[in-house]
């Protein structure tokens, strides 16, 4: 696990360095940046870390949300890359600025999400932000802190979220991690008596399979954001079919779980027993 620990330490150091530079560059225009992404939610997997930063911007700092977004992009593209030779790519993404660093033999990805408070001095009170939807030339209201708090203390749910994210990463299935989180939370709300990681995983897969085509999941920070609509009808049918196949395969031979939810290939699990796999599946 030494390499994973080193990689995580590199991620954290780089994130903290970037945060410090943002605070210096945008002093007076922003509130303190907050850690976001899967690491902040404790749903990270060691085949992919998300140590992202959300930057709350004061209402009067920019005339428009797009101006705010472009200001952060320009800073990283034209200024920060001159200060940090490990930065190898700066890219515009839908709601964030994507950064990629080369540290030794590892590539580290980090997303910077600038968001402007809705009203003057309102962010410290409610944490609500408008973030730029650069692809649709619009803005999206969100609350990163509320998203983090959503799964605070939900240890069993976080374990299942990690497993489904491993599957998503391996299968390259285009489903938002936030939708996975909402689905898992809803599955547990409807099946509170299920215990044991495998039984909980099986319960969650069955819940998603049975409900994905009809369930309506709303962003708790924005009632106008229907998160379940981020999947098309075809994608929902495809997901239902995939989870049905997974359940049938594992019910036929339980060791097939390794195929769908593999451990980190760099750190193979030595024990062969299924019970060991269930507790060490994250690699």
Q: Give the three-state DSSP class for 272.
A: coil
Whether 49 contacts 8, CB under 8 Å: yes
Query: 16 pLDDT band (50/70/90 cuts)?
Result: very high
In terms of pLDDT, which residue wins out, 33 or 278? 33
pTM of the model: 0.77
Same domain, 142 and 42: yes
pLDDT at 94: 86
pLDDT at 5: 72
Contacts of range 21-27, beta carbons closer than 8 Å, 24 or more positions apart: 21/80, 21/83, 22/53, 22/55, 22/112, 25/75, 25/79, 25/80, 26/55, 26/57, 26/61, 26/75
pLDDT at 259: 82
Q: Pairing mode, if any, of strands 106-117 and 97-103?
A: antiparallel
Q: Pairing mode, if any, of strands 106-117 and 52-57?
A: parallel
pLDDT at 182: 96
Same domain, 140 and 215: no
- Mind listing the pLDDT tens digit for each residue in 32-50? 999 886 555 544 445 555 6
In terms of pLDDT, which residue wins out, 49 or 135? 135
Question: How many domains does the chain divide into?
Answer: 2
**Integer Cα distance of 167 and 247 in angstroms:** 13
Q: How many H helices and E strands in the chain?
A: 12, 9
Same domain, 117 and 210: no
- pLDDT value at 62 more than 80: yes
Whether 23 contacts 40, CB under 8 Å: no
- Mind listing the pLDDT tens digit for each residue in 159-190? 899 899 889 888 889 898 899 999 999 999 99
Whether 169 contacts 265, CB under 8 Å: no
Mean pLDDT of 84-94: 94
Instruction: Tell me which of 150, 170, 195 is where a domain ends.
Output: 150
**Integer Cα distance of 230 and 173 in angstroms:** 13
Same domain, 90 and 116: yes
In terms of pLDDT, which residue wins out, 132 or 275? 132
Mean pLDDT of 114-142: 93
**Integer Cα distance of 174 and 179 in angstroms:** 11
Backbone φ, ψ for residue 171 (5° rounding): -85, -10
- What is the Cα gyration radius of the chain? 20
Query: Where in the sequence is the domain holding 109, given as residue range(s)?
Result: 2-150
Max Cα-Cα span within the chain: 61
DSSP H/E element including 282:
none
Which pair of structure tokens corresponds to residue 140?
A: 């999206």
3-state secondary structure 119-144: CCCCHHHHCCEEEEECCCCEEEEECH
Backbone φ, ψ for residue 226 (5° rounding): -85, 100
Same domain, 99 and 36: yes
Instruction: Tell me which of 116, 132, 150 is where a domain ends.
Output: 150
Average pLDDT, the chain: 86
| CATH number of the domain to which 262 belongs | 1.10.1410
| CATH number of the domain to which 29 belongs | 3.30.460.90
pLDDT at 279: 38
Same domain, 45 and 74: yes
pLDDT at 48: 52
pLDDT at 132: 94
Residue 200 CB: number of other CB atoms within 10 A?
20
Range with the poorest average pLDDT among 36-45, 56-65, 127-136, 217-226: 36-45
């Amino acid at each position: 696990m030494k390499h994973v620990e080193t990689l995580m330490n590199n991620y954290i150091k780089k994130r903290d360095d970037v945060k410090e530079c943002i605070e210096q560059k945008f002093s007076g225009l922003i509130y303190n940046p907050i850690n976001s992404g899967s690491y902040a939610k404790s749903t990270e997997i060691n085949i992919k870390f998300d140590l992202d930063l959300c930057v709350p911007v004061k209402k009067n700092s920019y005339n428009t949300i797009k101006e705010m977004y472009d200001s952060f992009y320009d800073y990283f593209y034209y200024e920060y890359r001159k200060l940090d030779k490990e930065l190898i790519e700066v890219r515009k993404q839908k709601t964030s600025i994507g950064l990629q660093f080369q540290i030794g033999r590892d590539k580290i990805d980090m997303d910077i999400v600038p968001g402007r408070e809705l009203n003057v001095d309102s962010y410290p009170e409610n944490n609500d932000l408008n973030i730029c939807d650069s692809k649709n030339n619009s803005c999206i209201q969100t609350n990163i802190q509320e998203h983090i708090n959503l799964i605070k203390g939900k240890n069993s749910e976080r374990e299942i979220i990690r497993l489904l994210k491993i599957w998503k990463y391996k299968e390259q299935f285009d489903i938002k991690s936030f939708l996975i989180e909402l689905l898992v939370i809803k599955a547990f709300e409807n099946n509170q008596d299920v215990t044991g990681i495998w039984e909980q995983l099986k319960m969650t897969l069955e819940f998603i399979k049975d409900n994905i085509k009809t369930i309506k999941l709303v962003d708790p920070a924005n009632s106008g954001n229907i998160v379940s609509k981020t999947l098309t009808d075809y994608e929902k049918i495809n997901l239902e079919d995939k989870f049905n196949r997974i359940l049938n395969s594992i019910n036929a031979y339980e060791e097939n779980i390794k195929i769908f939810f593999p451990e980190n290939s760099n750190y193979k699990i030595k024990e062969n027993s299924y019970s060991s796999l269930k507790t060490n599946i994250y690699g």
